[in-house]
């Protein structure tokens, strides 16, 4: 690595835009996937596209790897500086650049937290629809990298459906515009390729996003069940009626216990799973009538599936509280153990009952704790293993259990990741789903944009020998 790397960067950008030293190294050595860590040589804090391009060009000239980072709320190690080098933090790139209410569009810098996009236009009855649980901090750029979803993905779609265009610094340091402010941008859909590209195809610095009308009629309810199977079967039955609720979430007894302790969440004794359902409708329709009818249909299905209690949120305050609790679910589990690894897989919705049985069985077999809080409507699982990451034996078991679950998702016709990406965590899982020819196509796609492998190395597909070494190193530590 270049000597005086941080000094060089400080000369390039100004001293106030470069962090170095042990504190910076520790703060930027992982995301929430804490079982893998790697220190950066320096962290830069650009405030505009040109700054980013300068850094990327400098890295290319000096063969230094670089990794862009938003809020670091990812859970597959996507912002881990796997081979050291420079972390490009977007935390000073938080400006809204243009709001076009008439055409329902907004342009903002990549480092803006997701929720601030919505806050800016809520007085106009609009919002940015993707709503990851981390939305108060997780950034637009991070959401683009991971193609983030959230509870309302079921009805409103994931990030890729809400991004129209972007300014990106290519892995070689050129500034390009992809897409634009209207849909149907001509030529190849490079926007779609970059969204979900996990930051390996360039550094997105600004983006045009769609704004969606805030629903006017909303009903939110929780349904308690004595078995997880009753809850998962309700989900399949609700969707089978043709209704698409805005959200259909499940929390199991382990999550509920933590949420009871943290926020006083109430539920009947003996509850094995709580279903959280939201129905909504657009601003012109009659909220009282339409949404009430939809919710009654959902309630009817839950009653047939042996719901033990059904509570409809009485007002907006109660509704907001329910969502606050849901979104803090994983945080609340911090009480259960020092470390939590949230897994992410997706299966056809109809396989949920059998898959959940499998998740509990695997956890029992390995003797690790598991809690489930997930987007049931999408068939998107999030088994959370809680453990002590200071004990290598526990770490090994958690990794093994996670891999078994991931394999099962694939066997059931699903995928190794629902919305949290491959990162470093699941690089080894790709061959479960893809043939050599399929992976060769993926590798080609990576290589066009990232020929020398400096841009966020070792993610999605391992692209150089040093990645294998990095992996051996951390797995060696953990196992």
82 to 101, contacts with a copy of itself by CB under 8 A? 100
Which one, 7 or 189, has the nearer CB to a copy of itself? Answer: 189
Which one, 1 or 441, has the nearer CB to a copy of itself? Answer: 441
- DSSP for 343-408 reads --EE--GGGHHHHHHHHHHHHHHHT-EEEEEEBGGGTEE-EEEEE-TT-HHHHHHHHHHHHHHHHH
We find the least distance from the C-beta atom of residue 421 to a copy of itself, in angstroms, to be 8
Q: Which of 235, 446, 456, 462 binds a copy of itself (CB under 8 A)?
A: 446
Which one, 17 or 127, has the nearer CB to a copy of itself? Answer: 127
Which one, 185 or 466, has the nearer CB to a copy of itself? Answer: 185
Which one, 290 or 464, has the nearer CB to a copy of itself? Answer: 290
Binding residues for a copy of itself, rule CB under 8 A, total 90
Q: What is the largest CA-CA distance in the chain?
A: 68
First-to-last alpha carbon distance for the chain, in angstroms, is: 28
- Is residue 289 part of the contact set for a copy of itself (CB under 8 A)? yes
Identify which range of 11-19, 252-260, 423-431, 468-476 contacts a copy of itself by CB under 8 A: 423-431
- Residues in region 12-71 near a copy of itself by CB under 8 A: none
We find the least distance from the C-beta atom of residue 426 to a copy of itself, in angstroms, to be 7
Q: Which of 3, 23, 284, 314 binds a copy of itself (CB under 8 A)?
A: 284
Distance CA(361)–CA(322), nearest Å, equals 29
Which residues, in sequence order, are bridge partners of residue 88? 44, 68
Which one, 9 or 248, has the nearer CB to a copy of itself? Answer: 248
- Number of other residues whose CB lies within 10 A of the CB of residue 357: 13
Distance CA(319)–CA(341), nearest Å, equals 28
We find the least distance from the C-beta atom of residue 428 to a copy of itself, in angstroms, to be 12
Which one, 59 or 346, has the nearer CB to a copy of itself? Answer: 346
Which one, 38 or 160, has the nearer CB to a copy of itself? Answer: 160
- Residue holding tokens 């949290």? 420
Q: Which of 107, 115, 219, 349 binds a copy of itself (CB under 8 A)?
A: 349
- Number of other residues whose CB lies within 10 A of the CB of residue 91: 16
Identify which range of 60-68, 83-91, 186-194, 302-310 contacts a copy of itself by CB under 8 A: 186-194
Which one, 15 or 411, has the nearer CB to a copy of itself? Answer: 411
CA atoms within 13 Å, Cβ hemisphere of 420: 30
Using alpha carbons only, give the angle 104, 418, 52 rounded to the nearest 5 degrees. 60
We find the least distance from the C-beta atom of residue 139 to a copy of itself, in angstroms, to be 20
We find the least distance from the C-beta atom of residue 324 to a copy of itself, in angstroms, to be 26
- Is residue 105 part of the contact set for a copy of itself (CB under 8 A)? yes
| H or E element in which residue 134 lies | none
Which one, 188 or 317, has the nearer CB to a copy of itself? Answer: 188
Q: Which of 321, 430, 464, 466 binds a copy of itself (CB under 8 A)?
A: 430
Q: Which of 49, 160, 220, 339 binds a copy of itself (CB under 8 A)?
A: 160
Closest CA to 349 of 249, 252, 235, 244: 235
Distance CA(372)–CA(251), nearest Å, equals 6
- Residues in region 214-243 near a copy of itself by CB under 8 A: 216, 236, 239-243
Q: Which of 15, 177, 388, 469 binds a copy of itself (CB under 8 A)?
A: 177
We find the least distance from the C-beta atom of residue 105 to a copy of itself, in angstroms, to be 8
412 close to 351: Cβ distance less than 8 angstroms: yes
Q: Which of 123, 186, 264, 476 binds a copy of itself (CB under 8 A)?
A: 186
- Residues in region 120-149 near a copy of itself by CB under 8 A: 125, 147, 149
Q: Which of 379, 402, 453, 462 binds a copy of itself (CB under 8 A)?
A: 379
Distance CA(146)–CA(144), nearest Å, equals 6
- Is residue 310 part of the contact set for a copy of itself (CB under 8 A)? no
- Number of other residues whose CB lies within 10 A of the CB of residue 350: 17
427 close to 456: Cβ distance less than 8 angstroms: no
Q: Name the phi and psi angles at 176, rounded to 5.
A: -125, 155
Which one, 213 or 331, has the nearer CB to a copy of itself? Answer: 213
We find the least distance from the C-beta atom of residue 325 to a copy of itself, in angstroms, to be 25
Q: Which of 52, 140, 256, 429 binds a copy of itself (CB under 8 A)?
A: 429
- Residues in region 242-281 near a copy of itself by CB under 8 A: 242-244, 281
SS3 299: helix
We find the least distance from the C-beta atom of residue 16 to a copy of itself, in angstroms, to be 30
Alpha helices in 251-306 (DSSP H): 253-263, 292-304
- The full 3-state SS of 50-112, as one line of letters, equals HHHHHHHHHHHHCCCCEEEECCCCCCCCCCCCCCCCEEEECCCCCCEEEEECCCCEEEEECCC
Alpha helices in 172-252 (DSSP H): 190-194, 228-240
Q: Name the phi and psi angles at 375, rounded to 5.
A: -85, 80
């Amino acid at each position: 690595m270049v000597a005086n790397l941080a000094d060089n960067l400080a000369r390039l950008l100004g001293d106030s835009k470069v962090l170095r030293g042990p504190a910076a190294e520790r703060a930027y050595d992982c995301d929430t996937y804490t079982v893998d860590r790697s220190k950066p040589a320096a962290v830069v804090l650009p405030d505009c596209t040109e700054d980013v391009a300068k850094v990327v060009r400098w890295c290319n000239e000096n063969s230094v790897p670089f990794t862009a980072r938003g809020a670091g709320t990812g859970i597959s190690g996507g912002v881990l500086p796997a081979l050291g080098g420079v972390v490009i933090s977007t935390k000073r790139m938080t400006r809204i650049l243009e709001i076009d209410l008439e055409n329902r569009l907004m342009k903002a810098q990549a480092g803006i937290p997701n929720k601030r996009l919505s806050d800016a236009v809520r007085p106009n009855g609009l919002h940015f629809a993707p709503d990851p649980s981390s939305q108060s901090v997780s950034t637009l750029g991070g959401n683009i990298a991971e193609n983030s979803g959230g509870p309302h993905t079921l009805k409103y779609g994931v990030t890729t459906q809400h991004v129209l265009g972007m300014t990106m610094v290519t892995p070689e340091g050129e500034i390009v515009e992809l897409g634009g402010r209207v849909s149907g941008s001509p030529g190849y859909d490079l926007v779609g390729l970059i969204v979900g590209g996990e930051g390996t195809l360039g550094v997105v610095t600004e983006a045009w996003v769609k704004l969606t009308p805030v629903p006017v009629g909303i009903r939110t309810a929780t349904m308690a069940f004595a078995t997880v199977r009753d809850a998962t079967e309700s989900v399949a039955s609700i969707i089978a009626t043709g209704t698409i609720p805005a959200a259909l979430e499940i929390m199991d007894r382990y999550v509920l216990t933590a949420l009871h302790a943290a926020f006083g969440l109430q539920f009947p004794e003996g509850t094995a799973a709580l279903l959280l359902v939201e129905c909504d409708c657009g601003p012109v329709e009659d909220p009282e009538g339409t949404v009430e009818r939809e919710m009654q249909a959902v309630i009817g299905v839950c009653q047939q599936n042996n719901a033990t209690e059904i509570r409809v949120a009485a007002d907006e305050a109660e509704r907001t509280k329910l969502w606050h609790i849901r979104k803090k679910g994983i945080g609340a589990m911090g009480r259960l153990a020092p470390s939590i690894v949230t897994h992410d897989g997706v299966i056809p919705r109809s396989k949920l009952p059998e898959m959940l049985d499998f998740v509990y069985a695997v956890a029992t077999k390995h003797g690790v704790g598991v809690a489930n809080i997930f987007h049931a409507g999408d068939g998107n699982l999030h088994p959370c293993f809680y453990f002590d990451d200071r004990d290598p034996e526990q770490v090994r078991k958690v990794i093994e259990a996670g891999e078994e679950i991931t394999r099962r998702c694939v066997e059931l016709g699903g995928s190794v990741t629902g919305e949290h990406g491959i990162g470093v965590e699941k690089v080894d899982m790709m061959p479960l789903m893809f043939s050599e020819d399929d992976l060769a196509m993926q590798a080609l796609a990576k290589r066009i944009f990232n020929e020398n492998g400096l841009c966020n190395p070792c993610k999605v597909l391992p692209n150089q020998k040093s990645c294998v070494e990095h992996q051996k190193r951390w797995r060696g530590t953990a196992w």
